[in-house]
Chains A and B, each alone.
Chain A
């Protein structure tokens, strides 16, 4: 079994990777993937804390993980649909191209 500390280190690493991906990459598909990675980092922290403090009897951590997966799936669906629409319109998937609303 991994210790809580090890789990949290991995979780923070996943989150940081995701944030880096969202901020630094221009390909919207990669951005969406990075969002998923961030979500998984958060989910891992939930599961780890759940096991640490609620013990074998508590399942709240796992439940939130499942909920996060469902929300992530829905988010991916909406995100990909928007991406498709955007791609058809602009013939590219570069987020820097979507600057119509700049101030």
Chain B
């Protein structure tokens, strides 16, 4: 087995952000603002360089090479032994580059965006952001499920800390708690899945799980389903999606990094990581595809009605994550990962663009109070437009190619209910164009609808730099994975990733490359989806401008349509249902336990005992009179009594 020099350096990928966190977190504001502004972005920057090194080594190596750096043995409990090790294959390298690369740019952006913060919370922000990068990289580079779970929980913690970053506002810390609690539900399933996996396969190691996976007695189906429930929590899929829109309470760069580009894609990455295991559980894959598709459609509808620019993007993220799960579910792992990468680019661009708008409008997030920003902030408008076009799937921007690959994979898959799934996936893609058009029109076109919008200012310095680089990536990122139908061997990302799942025997999409008929079909599909993207976008823009009045009148006139709009604005009342079905019974039950069982029973017993002791003490107190003569008299009397009792026989 060949040895690669980078293998001994892998730990620096993880260690650099951890060191950044330790330095900034411990020294904090004493370092000074300049040092924090340098150290914060430097940490993911260093990790990025090492990840790039690993990528170079992998590109020079034979297919399906795995770079591994065993670190130490963590647990050794007889049958169960857990070691800590880092493992970089094509999949992990891709993710590590996205996490550190996009992470670096967002750190740079944050230097400008968080510039108004006082020194202490500025340092706290960067410490948390570095800690997040560390946890995410642990998750990505883990070589077994236990270490993976450490990263999984670590990113959850950082998400909680950063959503509630402005914790003085109760709504923000409530949102953080909601994210944390909803994620716990999924994490419980994930832990149970680990138990099942260990019971069924006797190992928690990724490599062995993927190789030795078999579905005896449905155990593989069970544990993959449990893992997927964990993924619905982390990646905000139905029915555990409710936390992500609320998570927008955090600073906008956090939304871009954690709640769009990296952490929420952990569920998709997990399925890719366990690709071999999922391949032997086709029932789970069907569930994944259907849940993803329904989520994509549902979230698209809700995004269409939101008024807050960040909420639109949050629902769009849920929808796009659903699309990724569709790809994973039909076995097109490489396409799903491709969409993950392009989504990281264009959604980060959109969030940073939205952040620039919010920053320029002094905190205004309501689309209804924007308008006409294209004239005031042309650079932001252009960058956001690139991200938006990529999201809507307009050729030749990145999102077009990745979404196209997924739609194609769904079309040629053998998933149960393929035609229906296809229809729904296409509908979700069309909805994307509509809500993107609505958001862009409301924010950037027309006349300013508030004083802040009329006096908006363009971002400068680090914010503009990060925004421009990400916009360029969003535009050109598709070049990573051009379909086979465009040019032979153009799908470089697919070719790089696919050998990792070679033994898994997944869907036909990967092996379909060279087939002439399929190529023809893909070209036709690309034409259709490109046309769909452009036309829907055009319809959306028209609906929001020229036809706006007529549409508004239609919605007002028809009570059914008006109700639909209210329902979409209210997220189809899922939160209310959870509130009535879960939260209120839980609160009522807690209140019952508190008022009746705790106060009425437990406290009553304890307090009663205390009162009894008190009464006894009052009764016995005169005995302890403090008078020496009293004690002596008692003693004498007692002695007399004892003697009389001992001598009782004599008096008979």
Contacts and interface: CB of A to CB of B under 8 A. Distances in A.
B624 interface: yes
Interface string B564-590: 000000000000000000000000000
A98 B628 contact: yes
Nearest to B640: A19
Given A19-B636, A23-B633, A23-B636, A102 B625 contact: yes
Contacts of A31: 628, 632
A52 B5 CA distance: 108
B75 interface: no
B629 A24 contact: yes
Interface string A6-36: 0000000000000100111110100100000
A25 B627 CA distance: 12
B626 A103 contact: yes
Nearest to A103: B624
Contacts of A24: 629
A23 B624 contact: no
A101 interface: yes
A66 to B, nearest CB: 24
A100 B620 CA distance: 17
Interface in B578-635: 620-629, 632-633
- Max chain A CB contacts within 10 Å: which of B627, B628, B633? B628
Contacts of B626: 98-103
B609 to A, nearest CB: 21
B625 A95 contact: no
B622 A103 contact: yes
A99 B623 contact: no
Nearest to A38: B636
Interface string A72-103: 00000000000000000000000110111111
Contacts of A101: 624, 626
Nearest to A26: B629
Contacts of A95: 627-629
Nearest to A18: B636
Contacts of B622: 103
Contacts of B628: 28, 31, 95-96, 98
Interface of A: 19, 22-26, 28, 31, 95-96, 98-103
10 A-B pairs with the lowest CB-CB distances in the bound complex, closest first? A102-B626, A103-B624, A99-B626, A95-B628, A103-B621, A22-B632, A23-B633, A23-B632, A19-B636, A102-B625
16 contacts: A19-B636, A22-B632, A22-B636, A23-B629, A23-B636, A95-B627, A95-B628, A95-B629, A96-B627, A96-B629, A98-B626, A98-B628, A99-B626, A101-B624, A102-B626, A103-B624
